[in-house]
Amino acid sequence: MKAVVADPLGGPENLKYMDQPTPQPGAGEVLVKIEAIGVNFIDVYFRNGTYKAPETPVKLGSEGAGTVAAAGPDVDLPVGQRVAYAMARGSYAEYALVPRKLLVDLPNNVSFEDAAAVMLQGMTAHYLTRSTFPLKSGQTCLVHAAAGGAGLLIVQLAKIAGATVIGTVSTEEKAQLAREHGADHMILYTQPDFVAEVKRLTGDRGVDVVYDSVGSTTFHKSLDCLRPRGMLVSFGQSSGVVGQFDPLVLSQKGSLFLTRPSLANYVSDPAELRQRASDLFTWLADGRLRLRVHKTYKLADAAQAHRDLEGRKTTGKLLLTP
């Protein structure tokens, strides 16, 4: 089979499109014939070594959709069953081995492309807005990178929950896109300090929660956007790592809460995983959740997808197809 791996670690130029043996499923495993692959910033982190992988060359891709090609002896899924998954590396390939506990059945009214576009970032948006800080009507959130793949989904799930959404983006084009997906107020990074604008929009109160996937360039100012006892949810670092941080600052700024969550801890229970996926598929089917796929690339062109993602040239989701 064809696959894309990082060898050696480093920039997009180190991605190699190569032949590899087609794996065979063992106990608790399923071989999935991949039809669509989601591209995410976590792939960049594994490619450049920010996140450590045990194998060399490093397998990439944590999200995909396709059909069951073969199943382990203790797995009850039939060949041909439509499935989707996230949190199993190796989806940058024609076939991928996936633990049965990470697979969800894919309804016929959800395409492979939509499933690959929504699994990782959609479930991230779900746990952030439904579990980490369960948004409800009357609350206000600040969403950084609101026009990105995860950002647009967080905006929509926050609106489904009845919250007011303030978003930050780099261009007016991205601001308009976020508005079209439900954002109530948009702030451009190129405009005056976003902290002052957040305070103005909230009557100097601050927001209840900040969802921050940007990291280094937004982290400290995000704390200043919060109301007393508000929460900063730092779930990414696209601009770089935050670095050392003194917890005493949280007290000084109003007894704030800070969390650095991971999707893995919010889908470790298969029942919880299925419930999150079921909500997403239902909202897709009834039109409450809209997906924006920025571009679909051939698997062999994964390096260009990474360049575009890191260059902030994209709005919405990037996909690969074998």
String of DSSP letters for 20-74: -PPP---TTEEEEEEEEEEE-HHHHHHHHTSS--SSSSEE---EEEEEEEEE-TT
Task: Give the pLDDT of residue 149.
Answer: 84
| 16 beta partners | 5
Asked if residue 125 belongs to a domain, the reply is no
Check residue 316 and report its DSSP letter: B
**Are residues 191 and 115 part of one domain?**
no
Mean pLDDT over residues 236-250, rounded? 88
Per-residue confidence band for 140, with pLDDT thresholds at 50, 70 and 90: very high
**Are residues 239 and 313 part of one domain?**
no
CATH code assigned at 211: 3.40.50.720
Asked if residue 238 belongs to a domain, the reply is yes
Q: Which residue range(s) make up the domain with 6?
A: 2-119+266-321
**Are residues 275 and 251 part of one domain?**
no
Residue predicted with more confidence, 215 or 224: 224
Asked if residue 18 belongs to a domain, the reply is yes
Asked if residue 52 belongs to a domain, the reply is yes
- pLDDT of 27 above 90: yes
Residue 306: Cβ within 10 Å count: 26
Token readout for 90 is 């190796």
- pLDDT of 57 above 80: yes
Q: Are strands 63-71 and 29-39 parallel, antiparallel or unpaired?
A: antiparallel
Average pLDDT of the residues of the chain: 95
- pLDDT of 41 above 90: no
CATH code assigned at 37: 3.90.180.10
Domain boundary residue, one of 211, 231, 260: 260
Is pTM beyond 0.85 here?
yes
**Residue located via tokens 């990037």:** 318
Domain boundary residue, one of 209, 234, 260: 260
Task: Give the pLDDT of residue 240.
Answer: 83
**Are residues 170 and 100 part of one domain?**
no
> Number of folded domains in the chain?
2
Q: Rounded to whole angstroms, how far apart are CA atoms 104 and 125?
A: 17
pLDDT digits (tens, 9 = 90+) for 83-115: 999 999 999 999 999 999 999 999 999 999 999
Residue 53: Cβ within 10 Å count: 17
**Residue located via tokens 């194998």:** 55
Asked if residue 124 belongs to a domain, the reply is no
Per-residue confidence band for 216, with pLDDT thresholds at 50, 70 and 90: confident
- pLDDT of 315 above 90: no
